[in-house]
């Protein structure tokens, strides 16, 4: 995933086999990361505890662990 912080509105696109997610919070003190997890959980209809940033805490490119009972296809469908 690529995350674009400090955006005017939330959005998700899928381009070149990667999700591009815009979040409103700035990339400071973990605010954008928290906003990303909240937004993804809302879109997926799962609790925030089901999602975890595995790598990329200080980068726009992130690897997210989905610890919920959703298939890859279901995650794609709900996000797009």
Give pLDDT tens digits for 38-54: 999 999 999 999 999 99
Q: Where are the domains of the chain?
A: 2-79
pTM: 0.94
Give the pLDDT confidence score for residue 6 in this predicted structure.
97
Specify the pairing of strand 2-4 against strand 18-22. parallel
CATH of domain 2-79: 3.30.1200.10
DSSP E strands in 17-76: the ranges are 18-22, 51-55, 63-66
């Amino acid at each position: 995933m690529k995350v674009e912080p400090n955006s005017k509105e939330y959005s998700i696109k899928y381009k070149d086999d990667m999700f591009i997610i815009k979040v409103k919070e700035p990339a400071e003190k973990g605010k954008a990361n928290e906003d990303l997890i909240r937004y993804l959980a809302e879109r997926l209809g799962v609790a925030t505890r089901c999602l975890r940033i595995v790598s990329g805490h200080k980068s726009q490119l992130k690897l997210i662990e989905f610890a919920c009972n959703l298939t890859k296809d279901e995650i794609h469908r709900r996000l797009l």
